[in-house]
Amino acid sequence: MTTQVSRSVSPKRSVQKSTPSFRQRFGDWAITFLKYGALIVLALSFLLPLYWMVTSAVKNDPQTYSIPPVWIPIPFFPENFVNAWTSYNFNLFAFNSIFRYALPVTVGATLSSALAAYGFSRVRWPGRDVVFYLCIATMMIPPQVTLVPLFIIFKDLGWVNSYKPLVIPAYFGAPYFIFLLRQFFRTIPDELSEAARIDGANELVIFWQIMLPLIRSALVVVALFTFINVWNEYLQPLIYLNRLELYPLALGIENMRRTIFQVGGTRLAYPYLMSVSTIIVVPILILFFFAQRTFIEGISVTGIKG
Amino acid sequence: MESLIQNNPGRFRFRRLTRAETRQLLTGLAFISPWIIGFVVFTFYPVISAFRYSLTRYDLIRPPVWVGFKNYIDLITIDPNFPKVVYNTFYWVLFSVPIGVIAAFLMASLLNTEIKGRSFFRAVFFFPSIIPAVVVAMVWQFLLNAQFGVFNAALQGMGLPTIPFIANPDLAKPSLILINTWAQGSAIIIFLAALQDVPRSLYEAAIVDGASAWNRFWNVTVPLTTPAIMFVLTTGFIFGFQVFTIPWLMTQGGPNNATEFIAVFLYRNAFVNLRMGKASALAWMLFVVVVIFAVSLFKSSRYWVHYSSDE
């Protein structure tokens, strides 16, 4: 008995290929030109504020207020960076931002979110998915709703004017990251957990020694995003920190702006503000360049699966 | 795990858990215990508490005084600023979010074409979204300054009249919308990823059927990226209602209350005027509005969101 081998028609066969006419080639070239043109114009517009920030940082007063605007400051004054930074206690502010705020929160949020994500994905228990939906539903609650009561609670605990209200809640899970990490945990086959359980490992050991290392890239994404969000945070420190020595960078620079413009002599006001702004943005720039891939993958995963 | 609900007609009872299932339950609860505790202490209790406070008059110094629904009624009837605040907030949400989403989608589509240096352009478009709000506020305030901001200085240099971007009450919100669109980096990334997930074969089939570029865009690209559009739209609305830092720092809710959004108004009432009860009432109204918006969006998604797979 002979068997017939059927061949599927390759789609390419049905598309006519012919040498493009001059008109077509011109059309293609025009589209390419428009594409790159649009991209370059957009890219320049997006970069303009940053370019303006950096060049203003090294200007002096006449250059700042000149009309028409000075695009390339010559001469320029890099000493503005050092002078602006030291004119206020920015070293302290940076220390606060990094060691009292960003790092503790990053560690706490990553760990607690991973624990919760594990509980929502690698363990079967009745009602698990319902509770999970409740968890992500809480993302809808505007922080303004809990703002006042939380402030009152923390005030009664005596935690106001310290980093405690800012750091401690981070150790109790963040729904956005619980969601993200749960998605990643779900990609690991059940058999791995089963095998480990048969070997006698308890759940905590499985979590710590097997599962966490497997989703390392997702953990990096969570840590990265948390760090940057905390670095940029303004409202929460504004509410809870009243002493200058506690200020993180965001509050520090705002304080600088208010004082500079109150004290009538606004000498080098804008250059100094732009200098400090540039310095504050640099760590994010560096983090971003080193972790660009991870960053972008992290966002796309939540967006598409979400 | 078999169903816990016993299948006896007329009776509704949970069966007892096996030993293994009990262990699983306790383990699961143990792992999510930090979240549960956090949820109760930092979310559930405060949300209920906020409602209680909204029925009082409380300035943090004297004990709270019960006033019933006075805060709500006063806000709706006699508060001189509330109508403006509501208008501003809805204006913001209904303009900035769709504009941002459309702009992000178009830019992502541009990035999705065959171009060299896609990572570079992608990075350029994304970066503004991770700059601290304080810095964004200061830089843009400088940029949009009515005299020597770069735009107006350039206009003056050419002999043209200046544009008082944030000094003019009518231009303040549109200026903020411009800044918001500049910071849509994460939406662009999400859209780009979704666009790249659209199967090539669909485009090829469309070409074979003679579809034009616009046709392909509208009937292949857009429908297949509706899940991502839904996500960006929903999160956009949720965050849009909470906008605070930029208006607070750039315009302080002005000029002439043009940028007094509900989160700004709430902060002012709570921490400047020490009207905690009024602020709590505002917060609950915001909460209800956001939930209505989100639920409506979810319900509507059945009609326009197309999921190509079911997980």
B89: its two tokens: 């907030």
Interchain CB distance below 8 Å, A69 and B154: yes
B131 and B48 both lie in a single domain: no
B65 and B107 both lie in a single domain: no
Q: What is the domain range of residue B43? A: 19-70
Q: How many CB pairs under 8 A join A and B?
A: 284
pLDDT, position B9: 64
Interchain CB distance below 8 Å, B35 and A116: yes
DSSP A131-157: HHHHHHHGGGS-HHHHHHHHHHHHHHH
B279: its two tokens: 């602020």
Domain boundary, last residue among B7, B39, B70 = B70
Domain assignments of chain A as residue spans, ordered by start: 26-77, 88-262
Secondary structure E strands in chain B: 56-57, 65-66
CB B221 within 8 A of CB B109: yes
Residues from chain A that touch B41, judged by Cβ atoms under 8 A, are: 172
pLDDT, position A2: 46
Strand, coil or helix: what is B56? strand
B66 DSSP assignment: E
Interchain CB distance below 8 Å, B43 and A141: yes
Residues from chain A that touch B139, judged by Cβ atoms under 8 A, are: 49-50, 52-53, 274, 277
B83 and B139 both lie in a single domain: yes
B90 Cβ neighbours under 8 A, 6+ residues apart: none
pLDDT, position A29: 85
CA distance A91 to A104: 18
B252: its two tokens: 């302080």
Residues from chain A that touch B46, judged by Cβ atoms under 8 A, are: 145-146, 149-150, 153
Note whether residue B13 is domain-resident: no
Interchain CB distance below 8 Å, A304 and B194: yes
Residues from chain B that touch A300, judged by Cβ atoms under 8 A, are: 189-190, 192-194
Determine phi and psi for B44, rounding to 5 degrees: -60, -55
Q: Note the pTM of the prediction, 2 decimals.
A: 0.84
Note whether residue B5 is domain-resident: no
Interchain CB distance below 8 Å, B60 and A155: yes
Q: B34 — contact with chain A (CB < 8 Å)?
A: yes
Strand, coil or helix: what is B53? helix
B211 Cβ neighbours under 8 A, 6+ residues apart: B219, B220
The CATH number that applies at residue B212 is 1.10.3720.10
CA distance A259 to A296: 38
Interchain CB distance below 8 Å, B46 and A149: yes
Interchain CB distance below 8 Å, A11 and B208: yes
Interchain CB distance below 8 Å, A123 and B138: no
Handedness of CA B242, B287, A111, A241 (dihedral sign): positive
DSSP B24-49: HHHHHHHHHHHHHHHIIIIIIHHHHH
- Looking at the domain that runs over A88-262, which CATH code has it been given? 1.10.3720.10
- Position A283, amino acid: P
Interchain CB distance below 8 Å, A169 and B131: no
Residue among A11, A68, A142 minimizing CB distance to B290: A142
B237 and B273 both lie in a single domain: yes
A89 Cβ neighbours under 8 A, 6+ residues apart: A244, A245, A252
Residues from chain B that touch A67, judged by Cβ atoms under 8 A, are: 147-148, 153, 156-157
CB B68 within 8 A of CB B244: no
Domain boundary, last residue among B9, B43, B70 = B70
Note whether residue B12 is domain-resident: no
B154 and B87 both lie in a single domain: yes
Low-confidence ranges of chain B (pLDDT < 70): 1-3, 5-13, 308-311
Note whether residue B37 is domain-resident: yes
Interface pTM, i.e. ipTM: 0.82
Interchain CB distance below 8 Å, A148 and B228: no
**β-bridge mates for residue B66, sequence order:** B56
Domain boundary, last residue among B70, B89, B110 = B70
What is the domain count for chain B?
Answer: 2
- Which chain B residue lies closest to A152 (C-alpha atoms)? B60
Note whether residue B310 is domain-resident: no
Q: B3 — contact with chain A (CB < 8 Å)?
A: no
Average pLDDT of adjacent 10-residue blocks, chain A of 306 residues: 47 59 82 90 93 91 84 88 90 94 96 94 90 90 91 93 95 91 86 89 88 86 90 92 93 88 69 92 85 70 55
Residues from chain B that touch A257, judged by Cβ atoms under 8 A, are: 138
B43 and B93 both lie in a single domain: no
End-to-end Cα, chain B, rounded Å: 19
Of the candidates A10, A207, A200, the one whose C-alpha atom is nearest the C-alpha of residue A117 is A207
CA distance A271 to B193: 39
Interchain CB distance below 8 Å, B242 and A144: yes
B36 and B115 both lie in a single domain: no
Residue among A47, A49, A284 minimizing CB distance to B143: A49
- Taking only the tens place, the pLDDT of each residue in A43-56 is 999 999 999 999 99
Best of A12, A31, A115, A145 to disrupt the B interface by mutation (most B CBs within 10 Å)? Answer: A145
- Taking only the tens place, the pLDDT of each residue in B45-103 is 999 999 999 999 998 889 999 999 999 999 999 999 999 999 999 999 999 999 999 99
B214 Cβ neighbours under 8 A, 6+ residues apart: none
Of the candidates A293, A302, A303, A296, the one whose C-alpha atom is nearest the C-alpha of residue A184 is A302
pLDDT, position A74: 86
- Which chain B residue lies closest to A166 (C-alpha atoms)? B42
A2: its two tokens: 């002979």
Determine phi and psi for B144, rounding to 5 degrees: -95, 10
CA distance A15 to A12: 5
Output the CA torsion B169→B170→B171→B174 (10° steps).
120
Q: B32 — contact with chain A (CB < 8 Å)?
A: yes
Helix or strand (DSSP H, E) at B57: strand B56-57
Of the candidates A98, A121, A118, A122, the one whose C-alpha atom is nearest the C-alpha of residue A110 is A118
Residue among B30, B50, B153 minimizing CB distance to A149: B50
Interchain CB distance below 8 Å, A146 and B46: yes
Note whether residue B14 is domain-resident: no
Interchain CB distance below 8 Å, A147 and B186: no
Note whether residue B65 is domain-resident: yes
- Taking only the tens place, the pLDDT of each residue in A214-265 is 888 888 888 988 998 999 899 999 999 999 999 999 999 999 988 887 655 5
